[in-house]
Structure 1
Amino acid sequence: MLKFREAPKCESGSIAISTSPRTLIARRYVLQQKLGSGSFGTVYLVSDKKARQGEELKVLKEISIEGLNPNETVQANLEAQLLSKLDHPAIVKFYASFVEQDSFCIITEYCEGGDLDYKIQEYKEAGKTFTENQIIEWFIQLLLGVDYMHERRILHRDLKSKNIFLKNNLLKIGDFGVSRLLMGSCDLATTLTGTPHYMSPEALKHQGYDTKSDIWSLACILYEMCCMNHAFTGSTFLAIVLNIVGGATPTLPENHPRELNGIMQSMLNKSPSLRPSAIEILKIPYIDDKLQHLMHKYSEMTLEDKNLDCQKEAAHIINAMQKKIHLQTLRALSEVQKMTPRERMRLRKLQAADEEAGKLKKIVEEKYEENNKRMQELRSRNFQQQSIDVFHDLDEPASENLPENQPIPSLDLSELESSLEDTTLDLGYHEIPEDPLVAEVYYADAFDSCSEDSEEQEGETGSLGPEVEAQDEGSQPTSRTNHQDSDIEALAGCLESVLGCTSLD
């Protein structure tokens, strides 16, 4: 006959934590309320005075050292060491551990949704059941957490619905009080602990067990989520044990997918070697298809969260700007109220003058723009006419082609000077008028066009600088950092890595 060891019950009020409701623990944790008692101690809700905003509430697990033997004290220390090494969105976060008087304390993440067993009982009493999508999503989250543990050769050894907690509708595995780190790949744990409803046949037979025992427990949790009842039941403790060891493998009702039923039955195989591992279950086509949908869902949720964060930040900036403007207005009003009536009158006149000057400046700028437009139109017309005449004159000598292999005659300077004199006479060359006003009018168009054209060319060349600089600045890649702050983003990363492994396989 197998003997089962009962977990020691911790006495209430073992330390000051249990008696004083506002006790300050480790100079930073304020006791809020008692949440319950576990296999190793009592659990409290505390508020962390040094935590960031929104993360103040945490869970303190008190383990009395006086009521434990040396082996159990080592197990409590082992729990803290294991939790400190685990960092996964599907596993309860570990923050700190310390000794307070005669108790060993562990600070972990607070999950406001309670445990999965409470959620199942709540739905069962209301006559409701979980949807298929909800069951699959939770099952995949548990698979990701279990695979993360098993990759690090860590056994939980007490997987059950009471040790799985909900936070923002995400499942998190907690209570590693009886877990153990496997030191070798073939090492088998032989300590008989855990809840009988979720224990594997090899554990009940005291034959030792490895990671496949956690797979059995996970299958029992899957059945419980689908049917709102334990996979193996019995009127007595012995009846439950006999049903697990030699009973038939349970099946899911017909309203659940056959693929999911087949996966659960393979996980409940009596032989541990024939059970699939967590990563093998994730690679099954039915689960892989669900992974794709979850990946898309989590990506959209993270984008929505980021948009909400941006909107909140923008709202904070707008509020700050409005406060600053309001303060400036109040200061101006206070300064005005301190003035004498004569100074106020002078201030009003100055303001009226400033407004009138602003209006006049605006009118002048509009007129200036209109004049510039007219001048540009006139210049463009004159330039087009001159260009047409010049090209017409140049076409005539261009049409006369010299024959090939004919030497170019040498230029005679005397003939060139005489030809220039003839051309100037033909163009109506005259001497500069002696009257300054007449000379200014005579040469105004030529000088203006030359100077303005050169200015326009300089403006065009100068305007290239900022554009080139802008292009250079735009060509530089902007660095982006991706912070996976939320559990949704972390789960999306886990799903992406699993899907990557699947495609490689």
Structure 2
Amino acid sequence: MLKFQETAKCGPTAIPVYPPTVIARRYVLQQKLGSGSFGTVYLVSDKKAKHGEELKVLKEISVGELNPNESVQASMEAQLLSTLNHPAIVRFHESFMEQGTFCIITEYCEGRDLDYKIQEYKEAGKIFPDNQIVEWFIQLLLGVDYMHERRILHRDLKSKNIFLKNNLPKIGDFGVSRLLMGSCELATTLTGTPYYMSPEALKHQGCDAKSDIWSLACILYEMCCMDHAFSGSNFLSVVLNIVEGNTPSLPDRYPRELNIIMSRMLNKSPSLRPSAAEILKAPYVEERLQQLMYKHPEATLEDKRNSACQKEAAHAVNAIKITEGRRYKENNKRAKELRSQNFGSVSAHVLQIRM
């Protein structure tokens, strides 16, 4: 791990002593932000950045502590992030090795994450304005559509992985993302927070793009209601509510069209859920998308048919195959073993997932 010296601590953050710690002769450590999927996350200042763009996020991953599956995922994270360029996705800058530690540098979002914002409003007894919710939802849809067109799953969409910059949402924390290697290869590793997990993920039936759609619907509900779409007194009750419970509805104060869209996204059958592209074509969403284009043109003018980006994604797949072939096979073998298990055996596994 990187040897950062720390002194005065305030909550989860730490202030470095002087002289300041510099990573890769470029990034000056500012403070600890928290823990990510595989390691620790820091706020750094980029000495080579343009004025006003100095602050960035450094995510450190100790390679020696990763098992083969995690090593594959860490490598994939850097590879796929380098192919993504969209206003609704946290921007990737670079990755490198430093003192036996794998480091990823990404965009810094000063507004923290959506979960923090929701809790802040909830404690103050406030709710988000309707137009704000719809704008954020559409921007997230655009980001998810962009990913899915490039055959990329996020697999851990939740409010804690949505970051706010200049009040615009950005999808981040791709630590458990996967490139879809083929139409028959479904991601099966059980991961993430149960509140946002799809029924098929909880039943170990595999995840595809429609699982991300389910998670996005849960985020929409949470933005509207300041609470989880599926809750329970304990972990298993949450799981049973997701797998067997009724589909929740939005309060009457929200447009009927928005509730219909959310209900379709929460269909327990993945094949019956709409894709992000189909939702964007719904009259209610399409009308508001046009309005959003005038307000935030930089967030909606992405060419979704950019073949160059698709080629880059393909190159990333090839790079991973070459450098991580052996470990990737181990990962696939493990996934097949998990796929063969029934829901009864899954229940024992899901108890180990943190709420």
TM-score bracket, shorter-length normalisation? 0.7 to 0.9
Matches within 5 A, 1:31-42: 31-42=29-40
Deviations 1:428-461 (A, max 9, x none): xxxxxxxxxxxxxxxxxxxxxxxxxxxxxxxxxx
Identity in percent: 77
2:252 aligned with 1:265: no
Greater relative contact order structure (CA < 8 Å, 6+ sep) = 2
Equivalent AA in structure 1 for residue 243 of structure 2 = V
Cα displacement (A) at 1:495 = 8.8
The one-letter code matched in structure 1 to 2:133 is I
1:287 maps to 2:310: no
The residue type paired with residue 43 of structure 1 is V
Q: What is the TM-score of this pair, normalised by structure 1?
A: 0.57
2:147 counterpart residue number: 149
Instruction: Quote how far apart the aligned CAs of 1:197 are.
Output: 0.5
Which of these residues, 52, 62, 75, is aligned with residue 77 of structure 1? 75
When you count strand as a share of all residues, which structure comes out higher? 2
For residues 50 and 495 of structure 1, the distance between their equivalents in structure 2, rounded to whole angstroms, comes to: 30
With structure 2 as the length reference, what TM-score do the two structures score?
A: 0.81
SS of aligned partner of 2:170: strand
8 Å contact kept, 1:295–1:495: no
Mapping 1:6-25, distance limit 5 Å: 14-17=1-4, 19=6, 20-21=16-17, 22-25=20-23
Q: Which amino acid aligns with 1:79?
A: E
- The CA deviation at 1:295 is 1.7
Gaps of 5+ in 2: 7-15, 306-355
Question: Structure 1, residues 202-258: CA drift from partner, whole Å, max 9, x if none?
Answer: 000001110000000000000000000000001111110000000000000111111
Give 2:350's aligned residue. none
Q: Distance in 2 between matches of 1:186 and 1:261?
A: 32
Q: How many matched pairs?
A: 294
User: Residues of 2 paired with 1:220 and 1:187: CA distance?
Assistant: 25
**How far, CA to CA, are the matches of 2:93 and 2:295 in structure 1?**
29
* 2:232 corresponds to 1:234: yes
Where do residues 90-489 of structure 1 align in structure 2 (5 Å cutoff)? 90-298=88-296, 489=297
Partner amino acid for 2:268? K
Deviation, 1:496, is 10
The residue type paired with residue 159 of structure 2 is: S
Distance 2:303 2:118 in 1: 26
AA matched with 1:107: I
Equivalent residue letter for 1:30: V
CA shift digits 1:130-158 (9 cap, x unpaired) = 01100000000000000000000000000
Question: Structure 1's 495 and 122: CA in aligned 2 closer, same or farther, altered over 3 A?
Answer: farther
Counterpart AA for 1:63:
I
Where does the alignment leave 5 or more consecutive residues of structure 1 unmatched?
1-13, 299-488, 498-505
- In 2: Cα distance, 1:137 partner to 1:117 partner: 17
The residue aligned with 1:365 is: none
Separation in structure 1 between the aligned mates of residue 74 and residue 92 of structure 2, nearest angstrom: 14
**1:97 aligned counterpart, secondary structure:** strand
Aligned-pair CA distance for 1:293 = 1.3
Separation (CA, whole Å) in 1 of partners of 2:162 and 2:43? 17
Aligned partner of 1:475 in structure 2 is: none
CA contact (8 A) 1:201 1:270 kept: yes
* CA displacement, residues 392-447 of structure 1 (integer Å, 9 cap, x when unaligned): xxxxxxxxxxxxxxxxxxxxxxxxxxxxxxxxxxxxxxxxxxxxxxxxxxxxxxxx
Q: Secondary structure at the match of 2:64?
A: coil
Q: Which has the higher helix share?
A: 1
Q: Secondary structure at the match of 1:112?
A: coil
Once the 2 structures are TM-superposed, how far is the Cα of residue 18 of structure 1 from its aligned partner? 5.5
Task: Provide the secondary structure at the position in 1 that maps to 2:205.
Answer: coil
Partner of 2:352: none
Q: Contact between 2:30 and 2:42, CA under 8 Å: does it hold in 1?
A: yes
For residues 242 and 168 of structure 2, what CA distance do their matches in structure 1 show? 29
Q: Quick check: 128-137 or 32-41, which moved more?
A: 32-41
CA separation of 1:106/1:18 partners in 2, compared to 1, >3 Å: closer, same or farther?
Answer: farther
AA aligned to 1:46 is: V
Q: Deviations over 1:318-371 (max 9, x none)?
A: xxxxxxxxxxxxxxxxxxxxxxxxxxxxxxxxxxxxxxxxxxxxxxxxxxxxxx
